[in-house]
């Protein structure tokens, strides 16, 4: 399939394939894929279990440029086995992160201090349910590899999480996603640890009715996450909108980019714990209880408001830092 | 021998059996005092191992969380994650003026069935809780504290990811003592993947990649060492502490932690294709490197 970069900018991020997202997010013509479909590096485990194979194992990874920044991209394909991660696609993801960090270290050797306008960036476009059960143990291990690298990224490699594809960022990918410096989402983005079906199965329908679409959106959806501060930028649904948000932030000093971090320090532990305590104190049983607490008098209307109206009127949890 | 569930649901007993007699002081780490009301099932504190001061992190399955109904039986919920993280930072603070060789070890006794699958957890962000604990463990490791995970019971999915998998070294009791290491049981994998259970059970014999059990995880490099006899746990932990400390003093960080377990896995014949993928990617990367650094 031929991709025209200019067309990709206006394309719906939600409907785009992993490869379209990867190509469109970086500067025109700069994306170089690692282990592309031609390499036919398929999962050895899905084959044995009789599943259909994809030559890229459901993930597109590589490096391009945004202005002068080498930009490492991981783009997950939710349409293939739920975007879930196993041995091969997991290694593609975690090793791409490792190469981003290595590029930072090499640049530091070369320049002494890495110039703000040249520092490597990392973008992960999430579309995954987490661990691929067919190769669950390998999937578990790759998540820890990602977490160690995201830890190492701090104050070095700006780390952008993009949420707005079909599956969301669920399971262990949910917490990998939240470990970034900046979380960007469109209205379709969803972030969670335990998906609706699993909650219903494990705890019961009185805890979570997985057939209630509205409940799913207001619990895990981007609007709620934006109000509660987990999503930093809620943007329109085009690849170009995601790209522009990153372009806007890319040249800033690392310190400024990491101001929106959601975790990774004793201070943020205390900030997050305050919200946990608040939820217990007001016996929050629905996200609307917290939306209201943070000053929204119209919680029933918020999910339905047109995007522009929502953005201009919504009240968000004030961040402590 | 019949399977024994030696420490399943008995994290407190594991502390008693592994640490010196009566040495565990709950909710105290150095000069810090942790809130006993917060996350009652999250057992953190100081103890000694043959006289050496260590921080201990475990789960007490008998103490449900009164504020979160899904948190019981050793489940790690949001409060539990943040309390564990506080324990890491208290440990770092307690030894901040000590040289690398004297940083106190952290021992994670692992028996947890999972992170809490609840609605309020999803609203507020179970994701941030578990990631916060993981980053705190990394902070402790980077400050020089040897972190040893000891699987005594259940090491399940996301809860194992936050509580154990990032340790410098992971040790485990064999399955015959009731240890459970997996994302989900093979029966559930069969339901979700729609692959017949008989077929999965057949495949498990030759492929450790989705099999449930510490021995399979060992083959993949996910566990560094099996401790065959529970009586040997204390000595195995102590030996690993001194090995980790030595490697860290020698600057051999690359022989510790999760990435090194990838190397260990390859040596044991597990995750072979991962290595192929990485090798090929490195070659592609190196060709691009000059223009990336330009």
Domain ranges of chain B: 11-293
For chain A, 321 residues long, give each residue's pLDDT as a single digit of tens: 678 999 999 999 999 999 999 999 999 999 999 999 999 999 999 988 888 999 999 999 999 999 999 999 999 999 999 999 999 999 999 999 999 999 999 999 999 999 999 999 999 999 999 999 989 999 999 999 999 999 999 999 999 999 999 999 999 999 999 999 999 999 999 999 999 998 998 899 999 999 999 999 999 999 999 999 999 999 999 999 999 999 999 999 999 999 999 999 999 999 999 999 999 999 999 999 999 999 999 999 999 999 999 999 999 999 965
Query: Residue A285's CB: how many other CB atoms inside 10 A?
Result: 12
pLDDT for the residue numbered A315: 98
**Cβ neighbours of A286 in B, within 8 Å:** 119, 123
Structure tokens at B285: 């990367």
Would A123 be classed as within a structural domain?
yes
**Cβ neighbours of A70 in B, within 8 Å:** 292-293
> Domain B11-293, what architecture?
Alpha-Beta Complex (3.90)
Residue A179 is part of a domain; what is its CATH number?
3.90.226.10
Question: Can you tell me the distance from the alpha carbon of B42 to that of B59, in angstroms, rounded to the nearest whole number?
Answer: 5
Segments forming the whole domain that contains residue A145? 5-191+230-262
The set of residues, in sequence order, having a beta carbon less than 8 Å from that of A217 and lying 6+ positions away, is A190, A223, A224, A303
**Cβ neighbours of A134 in B, within 8 Å:** 189, 193, 195, 210
> pLDDT tens digits, residue range B85-128?
999 999 999 999 999 999 999 999 999 999 999 999 999 999 99
Q: What angle do CA A178, A181, A184 make, to 5 degrees?
A: 70
Question: Can you tell me the distance from the alpha carbon of A123 to that of A300, in angstroms, rounded to the nearest whole number?
Answer: 34
User: Do the chains contact at B292 and A96, CB–CB below 8 Å?
Assistant: no
Query: Residue B208's CB: how many other CB atoms inside 10 A?
Result: 23
The set of residues, in sequence order, having a beta carbon less than 8 Å from that of A200 and lying 6+ positions away, is A207, A208, A209, A210
Q: Average pLDDT, whole number, for chain B?
A: 95
Phi and psi for A2 in degrees, rounded to 5? -85, 135
**Cβ(B119)–Cβ(A296) under 8 Å?**
no
Cα-Cα-Cα-Cα dihedral sign, residues B62, B65, B68, B74:
negative
Please state, in angstroms and as integers, the Cα–Cα distance from residue A237 to each residue in A182, A187, A188, A244, B38, following that order.
17, 7, 8, 12, 41
Alpha helices in B39-174 (DSSP H): 78-94, 119-124, 126-142, 157-162
The set of residues, in sequence order, having a beta carbon less than 8 Å from that of A83 and lying 6+ positions away, is A58, A59, A76, A77, A126, A127, A128, A129, A165, A167, A173
Question: Can you tell me the distance from the alpha carbon of A245 to that of A258, in angstroms, rounded to the nearest whole number?
Answer: 15
- Give how many domains chain A has, as a whole number: 1
Question: Can you tell me the distance from the alpha carbon of B108 to that of B289, in angstroms, rounded to the nearest whole number?
Answer: 40
pLDDT for the residue numbered A321: 54
pLDDT for the residue numbered B202: 87
DSSP codes, B93-107:
HHTTTS-GGGPPPEE
CB-nearest partner of A174 from B127, B138, B162: B127
Query: Residue A90's CB: how many other CB atoms inside 10 A?
Result: 28
Query: Residue A311's CB: how many other CB atoms inside 10 A?
Result: 14
Would A282 be classed as within a structural domain?
no
Question: Can you tell me the distance from the alpha carbon of A22 to that of A86, in angstroms, rounded to the nearest whole number?
Answer: 20
Question: Can you tell me the distance from the alpha carbon of A276 to that of B82, in angstroms, rounded to the nearest whole number?
Answer: 10
**A62 burial class (0-12, 13-18, 19+ CB within 10 angstroms)?**
buried
pLDDT for the residue numbered A238: 98
The set of residues, in sequence order, having a beta carbon less than 8 Å from that of B270 and lying 6+ positions away, is B208, B209, B219, B220, B221
Widest CA span of chain B, in angstroms? 64
- E strands, A38-139, are 59-66, 69-76, 121-126
Phi and psi for A26 in degrees, rounded to 5? -95, 175
pLDDT for the residue numbered B209: 87
Query: Residue A282's CB: how many other CB atoms inside 10 A?
Result: 12
CB-nearest partner of A269 from B85, B203, B257: B85
Widest CA span of chain A, in angstroms? 59
The CA distance from B50 to the nearest CA of chain A, in Å, is 31
Helix axes A87-111, A136-153, angle to 10 degrees: 20
The CA distance from B73 to the nearest CA of chain A, in Å, is 14
Would A302 be classed as within a structural domain?
no
**Cβ(A219)–Cβ(A230) under 8 Å?**
no
- With CA atoms as reference, the chain A residue closest to B130 would be A175
> pLDDT tens digits, residue range B209-244?
888 889 999 998 999 999 999 999 999 999 999 999
């Amino acid at each position: 399939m031929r991709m025209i970069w200019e067309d990709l900018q206006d394309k719906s991020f939600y409907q785009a394939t992993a490869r379209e997202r990867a190509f469109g997010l970086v500067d025109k013509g700069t994306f170089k894929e690692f282990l592309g479909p031609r390499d036919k590096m398929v999962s050895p485990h899905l084959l044995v279990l009789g599943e259909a194979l994809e030559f890229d194992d459901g993930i597109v990874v590589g490096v391009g440029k945004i202005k002068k920044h080498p930009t490492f991209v991981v783009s997950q394909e939710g349409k293939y086995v739920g975007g879930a991660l196993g041995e091969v696609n997991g290694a593609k993801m975690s090793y791409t992160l490792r190469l981003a960090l290595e590029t930072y270290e090499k640049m530091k050797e070369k320049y002494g201090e890495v110039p703000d306008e040249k520092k490597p960036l990392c973008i992960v476009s999430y579309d995954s349910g987490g661990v691929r059960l067919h190769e669950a143990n390998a999937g578990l291990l790759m998540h820890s590899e990602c977490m160690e690298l995201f830890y190492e990224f701090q104050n070095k490699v700006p780390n952008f999480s993009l949420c707005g594809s079909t599956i969301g960022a669920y399971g262990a990918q949910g917490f990998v996603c939240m470990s970034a410096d900046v979380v960007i989402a469109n209205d379709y983005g969803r972030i969670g640890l335990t998906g609706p079906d699993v909650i219903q199965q494990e705890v019961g329908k009185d805890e979570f009715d997985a057939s209630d679409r509205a409940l799913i959106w207001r619990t895990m959806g981007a609007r709620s996450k934006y109000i509660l501060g987990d999503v930093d930028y809620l943007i329109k649904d085009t690849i170009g909108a995601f790209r522009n948000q990153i372009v806007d932030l890319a040249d800033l000093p690392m310190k400024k980019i990491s101001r929106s971090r959601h975790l990774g320090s004793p201070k943020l532990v205390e900030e997050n714990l305050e919200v946990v305590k608040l939820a217990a104190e007001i016996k929050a049983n629905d996200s609307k209880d917290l939306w209201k607490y943070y000053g929204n008098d119209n919680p029933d209307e918020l999910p339905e408001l047109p995007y522009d109206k929502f953005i201009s009127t919504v009240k968000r949890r004030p961040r402590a830092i | 021998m019949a399977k024994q569930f030696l420490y399943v649901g008995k994290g407190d007993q594991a502390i008693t059996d592994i640490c010196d007699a009566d040495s565990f002081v709950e909710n105290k780490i150095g000069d810090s005092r942790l809130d006993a009301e917060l996350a009652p099932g999250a057992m953190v504190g100081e103890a000694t191992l043959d006289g050496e001061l260590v921080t201990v992190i475990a789960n007490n399955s008998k103490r449900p969380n009164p504020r979160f109904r899904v948190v019981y039986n050793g489940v790690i919920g949001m409060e539990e994650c943040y309390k564990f993280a506080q324990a890491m930072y208290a440990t770092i603070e307690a030894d901040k003026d000590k040289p690398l060789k004297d940083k106190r070890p952290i021992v994670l006794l692992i028996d947890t069935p999972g992170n809490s699958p609840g609605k309020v957890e999803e609203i507020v962000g179970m994701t941030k809780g578990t990631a916060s604990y993981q980053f705190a463990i990394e902070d402790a490791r980077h400050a020089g504290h040897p972190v040893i995970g000891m699987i005594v019971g259940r090491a399940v999915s996301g809860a194992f990811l936050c509580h154990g998998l990032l340790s410098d070294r992971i040790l485990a009791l064999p399955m015959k003592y009731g240890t459970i290491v997996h994302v989900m049981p093979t029966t559930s994998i069969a339901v979700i993947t729609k692959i017949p259970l008989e077929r999965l059970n057949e495949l498990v014999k030759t492929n450790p990649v989705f099999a449930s059990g510490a021995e399979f995880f060992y083959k993949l490099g996910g566990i560094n060492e099996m401790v065959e006899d529970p009586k040997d746990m204390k000595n195995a932990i102590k030996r690993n502490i001194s090995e980790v400390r030595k490697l860290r003093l020698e600057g051999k960080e690359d022989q510790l932690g999760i990435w090194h377990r990838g190397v260990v896995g390859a040596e044991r014949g597990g995750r072979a294709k991962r290595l192929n993928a990485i090798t090929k990617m490195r070659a592609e990367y190196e060709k691009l490197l000059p223009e990336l650094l330009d």
